[in-house]
């Protein structure tokens, strides 16, 4: 349909592009909708485009006819008219009527998409710099969802071959059952983000300090991908959204797995770990949560993101470091990880930074110390 | 009628002091235009960096934070340093000439309005060299992200303050000049449309620049004095900034396009050799657009989650703008209709303006529809939309105006062959650059990202090729301007056969002092 539009508007350039489009599978329109709302948006867009095509044919037709015929080089003499009240009334009224015609279906669609009442389930989604947290409050578990494309594929001058879903893949996708109305409650921890899945026709800003809601009901099982749509700092381009829509039975199985995982995580808060054990957990936590700013080898990116390797803070008394990791630093991108990570993960990552690269404190921070600092 | 006040010599210091101390509207107009040309190239080279990084997936040239600095500063400098000062330059040169006034009403204020600009430019350009680099939170400066930035954030805020003061002073000057210094017999409804559009634009500027100044001042105090205007934890609201910003920002969009309407409305009748169709309705349409611009701001924020009723209201109000905008396009085409057109460079740019600005208008209607906008908000579709309006709209009108009045300003004809090359390469490069971005947005590519999923690779490469072509072509414009200033065929007073406003009654180049004795308009 878009390609028809181009043909109509087209100059030579557009025609050249059109033939290219015909050869390859370029996406030139919205992706195929999987929710009723996305379908309505698709149709509204098509209606609007056709109206525009119609107007364009008339406007450009008149313009180019005039350019071809009413030129001095073909000897056309200039007329001298300069107004005509009738035609001016006509071309003010007709667009007005067209717009009223367009507003009607648009209004119906707005009312439908904003009606988040009577959901089958609710998930609270929190945006962090630069990851998403999915909190299944009714089920009692939550998890972080972070970009899973290996770093060597997207780092500066990286040469590694790129995955099929480069920059659109995460470690823990959101999972929902098919055909259920899922209400999402959106907020953010630090700056404004936006949760956007094109195939669902849903985009909602996540605003720190406020909870906004939206909803979707996916009609087809499958994996659907989106991205953060509101500039949220350095790694705005690296916080994708993946939603897996599963059949109810598979979804129930997934919920049970998540519940047992989360129960296991709470229990081991009291466990005492060996230094090596903490370091190996911490290394993974560091890679997903810290390396984006402080870099893989702790060298940081001066002056915005301080180095951890050789840092006075990291080599100094542990309580100061626990404080900053747990509570963040106001006015910077250092967020309060106490709200995002489990006691074990915080303990492990602090232990890791205090014993990695050139840092050799030999200290093992135990989860119980983190738990104590939460009080 | 003594159109030219000629004592045979010009009273002004020579060398650099001429430009520092000048109160002459023509000198100041020239300063504005050259300033905006320099800023255009600076911000344009930032855009070349953006397109180079987006040429293919992966990071080739810069870290994501640097990329964000480029997009942020490209936007800020193009809007406040290139497009707006260029139009003020046109106003300085042309408003007194077109209303038969000897100069601007407040010449010393005029000097000050200009010389504020380089100070702001130093702050903006200099912010690249402070620790942490330039501001990277987007030209819209949304908190809380903008509050996270370093020293450059403060420099940007002060630059915006200075630019705002400059705009307000300049606008007061333009309003005062137009209200008080029209030649005898030039009633409001006889003013050339360029003067009308600037008259209305100046009121918009006076109304909204203080709003922007307030918004960025609140950012500043949030950054340093914990005022929490935009921090929910302290009782504030991040979205409030967006409301205030766009209450400025939407009229700002029209500030950047209404003078362009004025330029195009001067050029099309000249080259069609036929009076402007529907002069009165053009004036009313301009005024309607200006008034409507104050009540549609939140269409930039459909995705923040406003109440449904507010979304519907802003959708209806936004769609309404299409009516007066449509009237303008119809009037331009009716002006061409049954004319006797020739296609010198100014006319080519003016026609391209009408054709391509209309595409920007069409996509504006698409974006006005709330559900569709929910999909397209913050995607490349929006990037394409506002570049169709600001590049093939505002910038092409600036080029059209420059070619149109250069002979009057310099006394020489510009090189028509080079001018035509500049036009066609710009026209083709522009469309290769921005048309594919509509597809990218529809397919789901967010804006302001340094790297992208593989499905977006082809159109990004095409877009970048168009970008480099468009960027390189602008060097031609500099060559044309320099050649025209230095020499060329002598221009007549009339210059263009079909031109009939007052500036064409004085010799080319326009003498240093004109209309010391006002002309009488019948």
Do B278 and A88 make contact, defined as CB atoms within 8 angstroms?
yes
> β-pairing, A131-136 with A121-128?
antiparallel
φ/ψ (deg, to 5) at A281? -65, -45
In a domain, A5, yes or no: yes
Do B454 and A166 make contact, defined as CB atoms within 8 angstroms?
yes
> Edge-to-edge, what's the strand order for the sheet holding A121-128?
A141-145, A131-136, A121-128, A182-188, A212-216
Partners of residue B311 in chain A, C-beta under 8 Å:
110, 114
Percent of chain A with pLDDT over 70: 92
Cα of B71 to nearest chain A Cα, Å:
11
- A280 and A252 housed in the same domain: no
Nearest to B322 among A2, A95, A202 (CB): A95
In a domain, A310, yes or no: yes
Check: CB of residue B315 under 8 Å from CB of residue B369: yes
Partners of residue A68 in chain B, C-beta under 8 Å:
none
In a domain, A75, yes or no: yes
Cα of B210 to nearest chain A Cα, Å:
25
Predicted TM-score (pTM) of the model is 0.90
Check: CB of residue A132 under 8 Å from CB of residue A192: no
In a domain, A264, yes or no: no
CA A116 to chain centre: 21
The average confidence (pLDDT) of chain A is 88
Partners of residue B276 in chain A, C-beta under 8 Å:
82
- A280 and A369 housed in the same domain: yes
Q: What is the CATH number of the domain that holds A94?
A: 1.10.287.90
Say whether residue B264 is in contact with chain A using an 8 A CB cutoff: no
Kind and range of the H or E element at B299? none
Ramachandran quadrant class, A126 (left: phi over 0; alpha: psi -120 to 50; beta: rest): beta
Mean pLDDT in residue range B29-46: 97
For residue A155 the two structure tokens come to 């780092």
Say whether residue B312 is in contact with chain A using an 8 A CB cutoff: yes
- The single residue listed with the structure tokens 């050789």 is A310
Query: Catalytic: B447?
Result: yes
Do A212 and B339 make contact, defined as CB atoms within 8 angstroms?
no
In a domain, A130, yes or no: yes
Do B319 and A103 make contact, defined as CB atoms within 8 angstroms?
yes
Partners of residue B283 in chain A, C-beta under 8 Å:
none
DSSP B390: I
The domain boundary, picked from A202, A228, A258, lies at A258
Among the listed residues B479, B460, B457, B458, the one whose alpha carbon sits nearest the alpha carbon of residue B468: B460
Alpha helices in B130-225 (DSSP H): 151-180, 193-225
- The single residue listed with the structure tokens 């092409």 is B396
Q: What pLDDT is attached to residue B243? A: 97
- A135 and A238 housed in the same domain: yes
In Å, the largest CA–CA distance within chain A is 96
ipTM over 0.85: yes
Q: Exposed/middle/buried for B164, CB within 10 Å: 0-12, 13-18, 19+?
A: buried
Distance CA B385, CA B399 (A): 20
In a domain, A266, yes or no: no
Partners of residue A211 in chain B, C-beta under 8 Å:
none
The domain boundary, picked from A96, A114, A132, lies at A114
The Cβ of residue B219 has, within 10 Å, a number of other Cβ atoms equal to 27
Do B305 and A233 make contact, defined as CB atoms within 8 angstroms?
no
Give the residue from chain A lying closest to B239, CA to CA: A207
Do B58 and A153 make contact, defined as CB atoms within 8 angstroms?
yes
Q: What pLDDT is attached to residue B139? A: 96
- A129 and A186 housed in the same domain: yes
Give the residue from chain A lying closest to B355, CA to CA: A60
Ramachandran quadrant class, B24 (left: phi over 0; alpha: psi -120 to 50; beta: rest): beta
Task: Write down the catalytic residue from B103, B154, B344, B373.
Answer: B103
- B300 CB contacts (<8 Å, ≥6 apart)? B242, B246, B249, B250
Distance CA A122, CA A215 (A): 9
Do A66 and B336 make contact, defined as CB atoms within 8 angstroms?
yes
Q: What is the CATH number of the domain that holds A355?
A: 1.10.760.10
For the stretch B17-37, what's the b/e string if a residue is b when 16 or more beta carbons lie within 10 angstroms of its beta carbon?
A: eebeebbbbbbbbbbbbebbb
- A136 and A198 housed in the same domain: yes
Cα of A285 to nearest chain B Cα, Å:
22
φ/ψ (deg, to 5) at A189? -95, -30
- The single residue listed with the structure tokens 């350019």 is A67
Query: Catalytic: B243?
Result: no
pLDDT band per the 50, 70, 90 thresholds, residue A262: confident
Angle (nearest 5°) at CA B387 between B443 and B247: 100
Among the listed residues A140, A37, A331, A170, the one whose alpha carbon sits nearest the alpha carbon of residue B228: A331
Distance CA B66, CA A215 (A): 35
> β-pairing, A174-177 with A240-246?
parallel
Q: What pLDDT is attached to residue A22? A: 46
Distance CA B300, CA B310 (A): 13
For residue B106 the two structure tokens come to 């407040």
Distances (CA, A) of B165 to B30, B73, B116, B244: 20, 20, 8, 18
> β-pairing, A182-188 with A121-128?
parallel
Do A41 and B378 make contact, defined as CB atoms within 8 angstroms?
no
For residue A37 the two structure tokens come to 């709302």
On the question of pLDDT at A1 being above 50, the answer is no
Mean pLDDT in residue range A315-342: 84
- What is the DSSP track for B75-90? HHHIIIIIIHHHHHHH
The domain boundary, picked from A228, A258, A288, lies at A258
> Edge-to-edge, what's the strand order for the sheet holding A202-206?
A174-177, A240-246, A222-228, A193-197, A202-206
Give the residue from chain A lying closest to B62, CA to CA: A156
Check: CB of residue B248 under 8 Å from CB of residue B215: yes
pLDDT per position as a tens digit, B160-215: 999 999 999 999 999 999 999 999 999 999 999 999 999 999 999 999 999 999 99
- A322 and A369 housed in the same domain: yes
Residue A67's domain spans which residues? 31-114
In a domain, A151, yes or no: yes
Q: What pLDDT is attached to residue A312? A: 86
In Å, the largest CA–CA distance within chain B is 69
Q: Exposed/middle/buried for A163, CB within 10 Å: 0-12, 13-18, 19+?
A: middle
Give the residue from chain A lying closest to B343, CA to CA: A71
Handedness of CA B451, B149, A333, A129 (dihedral sign): negative
Distances (CA, A) of B110 to A346, A373, B78, B91, B176: 60, 62, 22, 11, 12
- A241 and A354 housed in the same domain: no
Q: What pLDDT is attached to residue B480? A: 97
Partners of residue A110 in chain B, C-beta under 8 Å:
308, 311-312, 315, 370-371
Query: Catalytic: B161?
Result: no
Give the residue from chain B lying closest to A207, CA to CA: B238
Distances (CA, A) of A235 to A128, A155, A296, B308: 11, 12, 15, 32
Check: CB of residue A191 under 8 Å from CB of residue A260: no
Percent of chain B with pLDDT over 70: 98
pLDDT per position as a tens digit, A329-355: 877 778 888 878 888 888 889 999 998
pLDDT band per the 50, 70, 90 thresholds, residue A6: very low
Check: CB of residue A266 under 8 Å from CB of residue A345: no
Check: CB of residue A358 under 8 Å from CB of residue A259: no
- B140 CB contacts (<8 Å, ≥6 apart)? B75, B242, B245, B249
In a domain, A263, yes or no: no
pLDDT per position as a tens digit, A29-64: 999 999 999 999 999 999 999 999 999 999 999 999
- A310 and A345 housed in the same domain: yes
- A129 and A253 housed in the same domain: yes
Give the residue from chain A lying closest to B336, CA to CA: A66
Say whether residue B127 is in contact with chain A using an 8 A CB cutoff: no
On the question of pLDDT at A16 being above 80, the answer is no
- A88 and A152 housed in the same domain: no
Do A207 and B277 make contact, defined as CB atoms within 8 angstroms?
no
Partners of residue B131 in chain A, C-beta under 8 Å:
303
On the question of pLDDT at A20 being above 60, the answer is no
Do A209 and B223 make contact, defined as CB atoms within 8 angstroms?
no
pLDDT band per the 50, 70, 90 thresholds, residue B288: very high
- A296 and A196 housed in the same domain: no
The number of distinct structural domains making up chain A is: 4
Do B277 and A82 make contact, defined as CB atoms within 8 angstroms?
yes
- A22 and A35 housed in the same domain: no
Cα of B426 to nearest chain A Cα, Å:
13
Cα of B17 to nearest chain A Cα, Å:
41
Give the residue from chain A lying closest to B321, CA to CA: A96
Query: Catalytic: B252?
Result: yes
Do B362 and A190 make contact, defined as CB atoms within 8 angstroms?
no
Say whether residue B68 is in contact with chain A using an 8 A CB cutoff: yes
């Amino acid at each position: 349909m878009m390609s028809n539009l181009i043909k109509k508007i087209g100059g030579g350039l557009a025609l050249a592009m059109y033939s290219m489009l015909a050869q390859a599978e370029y996406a030139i329109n919205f992706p195929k909708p999987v929710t009723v709302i996305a379908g309505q948006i698709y149709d509204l867009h098509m209606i609007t485009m056709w109206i525009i095509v119609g107007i364009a044919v008339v406007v450009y037709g008149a313009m180019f006819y005039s350019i071809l015929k009413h030129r001095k080089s073909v000897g056309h003499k200039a007329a001298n008219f300069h107004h005509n009240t009738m035609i001016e009334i006509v071309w003010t009224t007709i667009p007005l009527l067209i717009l009223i015609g367009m507003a009607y279906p648009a209004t119906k669609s707005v009312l439908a998409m904003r009606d988040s009442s009577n959901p089958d389930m609710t998930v609270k989604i929190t945006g962090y710099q630069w990851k998403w947290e999915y909190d299944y409050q009714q089920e009692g578990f939550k998890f972080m969802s972070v970009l899973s494309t290996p770093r060597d594929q997207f780092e500066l001058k990286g040469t590694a071959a790129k995955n099929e879903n480069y920059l659109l893949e995460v470690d823990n996708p959101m999972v929902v059952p098919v055909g259920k109305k899922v209400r999402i409650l959106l907020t953010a921890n630090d700056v404004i983000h936006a949760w956007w899945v094109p195939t669902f026709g849903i985009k909602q800003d996540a605003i720190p300090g406020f909870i906004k809601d939206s909803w979707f009901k996916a009609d087809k099982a499958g994996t659907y991908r989106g991205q953060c749509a509101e500039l949220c700092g350095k790694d705005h381009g690296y916080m994708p959204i993946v939603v897996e829509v599963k059949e109810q039975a598979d979804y129930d199985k997934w919920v049970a797995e998540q519940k047992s995982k989360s129960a296991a995580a709470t229990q081991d808060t009291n466990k005492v770990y060996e230094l090596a054990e903490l370091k190996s957990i911490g290394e993974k936590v560091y890679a997903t949560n810290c390396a984006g700013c402080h870099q893989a080898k702790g060298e940081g990116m001066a002056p915005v993101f301080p180095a951890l390797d050789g840092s006075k803070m990291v080599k100094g008394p542990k309580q100061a470091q626990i404080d900053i990791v747990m509570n963040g630093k106001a006015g910077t991108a250092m967020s309060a990880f106490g709200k995002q990570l489990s006691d074990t993960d915080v303990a492990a990552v602090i232990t890791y930074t205090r014993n990695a690269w050139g840092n050799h404190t030999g200290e093992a921070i135990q989860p119980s110390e983190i738990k104590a600092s939460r009080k | 009628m003594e159109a030219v006040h000629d004592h045979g010599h010009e009273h002004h210091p020579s060398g650099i002091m001429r430009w520092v101390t000048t109160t002459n509207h023509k000198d100041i107009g020239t300063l504005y235009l050259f300033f905006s040309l320099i800023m255009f190239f600076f911000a344009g080279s930032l855009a070349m960096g953006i397109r180079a990084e987006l040429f293919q997936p992966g990071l080739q040239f810069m870290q994501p934070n640097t990329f964000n600095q480029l997009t942020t500063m490209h936007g800020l400098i193009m809007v406040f340093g290139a497009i707006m000062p260029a139009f003020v330059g046109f106003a300085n040169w042309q408003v007194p000439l077109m209303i038969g006034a000897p100069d601007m009403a407040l010449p010393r204020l005029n000097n000050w309005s200009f010389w504020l600009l380089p100070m702001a430019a130093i702050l903006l350009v200099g912010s690249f060299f402070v620790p942490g680099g330039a501001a990277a939170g987007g030209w819209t400066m949304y908190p809380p992200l903008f509050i996270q930035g370093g020293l450059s954030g403060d420099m940007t805020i002060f630059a915006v303050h200075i630019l705002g003061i400059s705009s307000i002073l300049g606008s007061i000057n333009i309003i005062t000049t137009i209200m008080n210094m029209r030649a005898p017999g030039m009633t409001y409804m006889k003013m050339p449309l360029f003067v009308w559009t600037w008259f209305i634009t100046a009121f918009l500027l006076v109304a909204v620049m203080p709003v922007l100044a307030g918004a960025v001042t609140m950012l500043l105090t949030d950054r340093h004095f914990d005022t929490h205007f935009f921090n929910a934890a302290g009782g504030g609201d991040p979205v409030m900034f967006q409301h205030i910003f766009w209450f400025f920002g939407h009229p700002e969009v029209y500030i950047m396009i209404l003078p362009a309407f004025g330029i195009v409305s001067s050029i099309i009748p000249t080259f069609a050799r036929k009076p402007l169709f529907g002069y009165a309705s053009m004036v009313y349409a301009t005024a309607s657009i200006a008034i409507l611009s104050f009540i549609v701001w939140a269409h930039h924020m459909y995705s923040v989650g406003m109440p449904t009723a507010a979304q519907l209201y802003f959708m209806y109000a936004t769609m309404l703008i299409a009516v007066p905008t449509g009237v303008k396009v119809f009037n331009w085409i009716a002006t061409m209709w049954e004319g006797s057109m020739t296609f010198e460079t100014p006319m080519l740019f003016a026609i391209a303006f009408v054709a391509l600005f209309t595409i920007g208008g069409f996509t504006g209607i698409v974006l006005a529809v709330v559900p569709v906008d929910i999909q397209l908000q913050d995607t490349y579709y929006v990037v394409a939309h506002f570049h169709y309006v600001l590049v093939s709209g505002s910038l092409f009108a600036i080029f059209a105006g420059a070619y149109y009045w250069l002979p009057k300003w310099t006394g020489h004809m510009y090189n028509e062959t080079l001018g035509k090359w500049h036009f066609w390469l710009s026209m083709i490069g522009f469309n290769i650059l921005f048309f594919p971005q509509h597809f990218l947005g529809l397919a789901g590519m967010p804006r302001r990202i340094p790297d992208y999923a593989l499905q977006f690779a082809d159109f990004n490469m095409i877009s970048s090729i168009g970008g480099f072509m468009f960027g390189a072509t602008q060097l031609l414009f500099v060559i044309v301007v320099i050649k025209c200033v230095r020499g060329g065929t002598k221009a007549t007073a009339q210059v263009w056969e079909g031109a009939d406003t007052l500036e064409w009654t004085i010799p080319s180049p326009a003498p240093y002092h004109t209309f010391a004795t006002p002309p009488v308009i019948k």
